[in-house]
Structure 1
């Protein structure tokens, strides 16, 4: 007897994580993944969300679509909230109406970055940027409007699709012989390949709630860059600098390392250390 596949709809299928989920080879025999780009599913339109989800009737929706331009959001807050808050509300309403579980991808930016120990899932949120506030508003929409949800906060995402810090460093390593990188911001890098595999495992369970998901161990941006150049055998003179030397419209958290208490307490296997994940990524790109 053939067992029906679990159907998963992914929003934001052209983004870093969305593409990893759609194009990755995850449990192909048991899971069917359908991805929708921004052009195919306008999350800011409630009727469109309802129509698409009612037509495909997935068991699970993984909501990756988001407004992620952190600096630009400072000058266009309405657009950030329209996508990250109202758009998430629309997805939550449409998913609940068809009885689909919902997994919402959130961010370390919901915290203020002033901690000295890793943030766990129940620490007080206190976003300092428009982007962080809009993503937290999305979390509230999910918690209010859906009854079977996973909220997954992640950070410092890199992978084979889209633009990210690792790709930028590799490009600059070819163009320059010296580089300054911020050394006073500490966080947890997250490899989309590992994150996507974890999400596919998570959403098939009933262990609902908030999760912090990143690769284990932490580093500064400078330490991350140093590892990228070392592991890719790129000769470059790297200098540490301070956040003040690189002012940005949106303030960056000085500390956004995440503790994975929900992963541990629900019996999941923590993601591998970020350096191992980086080496896997570099090998995959060869």
Structure 2
């Protein structure tokens, strides 16, 4: 049995759909702010593999609560990984492009130096370091710009605003790869199997949708596929200040995924599936 930390989040929801036999646990079962409880749950359940699809994802709020963000995003995954290593089972942990500073225009490789711009990225980096230090068969999957038909995300926000307004201003100087949660879920399951077959595949990986685009470009594709007449106007990040700094360059080199037979998904096809599920496509 696969143990999944996360129950109602975007990726956890999709894992439950793809692997209904998995045990997906939420806040009602374990408090992610209690790393020891996470470790104890792993040892009690003794699963055949573990996926951590849970996190403190409130990027702006994290700026005011670094201690909590670090416990959830840093200490808890480390405890999970230590328990997984103790049991000798594979562990897949989801991380983020926010561990980078977003400088330049070249895609970041898994081996590039990290330099988070804010608390969220720092807390996720602590998690990566803890998972790696645990020494088990663990793969860390950095991803970006996650969207689905569930929860709060950019696609659902654009659909809501685009249905009410004639024009929207959207940031155009942040570039990255929108990534369907369903594809992330499928990748996690594939990687779990791959680690079971060959623990030597442990390490850092990048997984993001293709082609790279801006938030404004993403918004325009949403409007086009949904048949909305709302016009998207480009603005710079400086025109939309937020408590936490966002990386301008979130391009990620995903070539290393070939070790698991994976490649970047086309986010436009994933968007069509999400809009169909929401009943919002033309």
TM tier, smaller? over 0.9
Map 1:158-197; keep pairs closer than 5 Å: 158-197=147-186
Cα distance, 1:35–1:241 mapped onto 2, change above 3 Å: same
From 254, 262, 279, the equivalent of 1:260 is 254
Q: TM-score, normalised by structure 2?
A: 0.93
Q: State whether residues 154 and 212 of structure 1, in contact with CA within 8 Å, keep that contact through their aligned partners in structure 2.
A: yes
**1:61-83 CA-partner distances (Å, limit 9, x unpaired):** 10111111101111111111111
Would you tell me which structure has more helix in proportion to its own residues?
A: 2
From 234, 250, 274, the equivalent of 1:281 is 274
1:4 is matched with which residue?
A: none
1:271 is matched with which residue?
A: 264
2:235 is matched with which residue?
A: 241
Map 1:1-40; keep pairs closer than 5 Å: 7-22=1-16, 24-26=17-19, 32-40=21-29
**1:74-122 CA-partner distances (Å, limit 9, x unpaired):** 1111111111111122212222222221111100000000121111111
Rounded to whole Å, the distance in 1 between the matches of 2:155 and 2:252 is 20
- Aligned residue for 2:23, secondary structure, equals strand
Rounded to whole Å, the distance in 2 between the matches of 1:38 and 1:257 is 32
Rounded to whole Å, the distance in 2 between the matches of 1:62 and 1:242 is 36
From 198, 205, 211, the equivalent of 1:211 is 205
Rounded to whole Å, the distance in 2 between the matches of 1:106 and 1:269 is 17
- Aligned residue for 1:61, secondary structure, equals strand
> What is the deviation of 1:226?
0.2
**1:227-283 CA-partner distances (Å, limit 9, x unpaired):** 00001101112211111110001111111111112113x151313222122112212
Tell me which stretches of 4 or more aligned residues in structure 1 moved more than 6 Å: none
> What is the deviation of 1:55?
2.6
Aligned residues: 274
1:41 is matched with which residue?
A: 30
What residue ranges of structure 1 are gaps of 5+ in the alignment?
Answer: 1-6
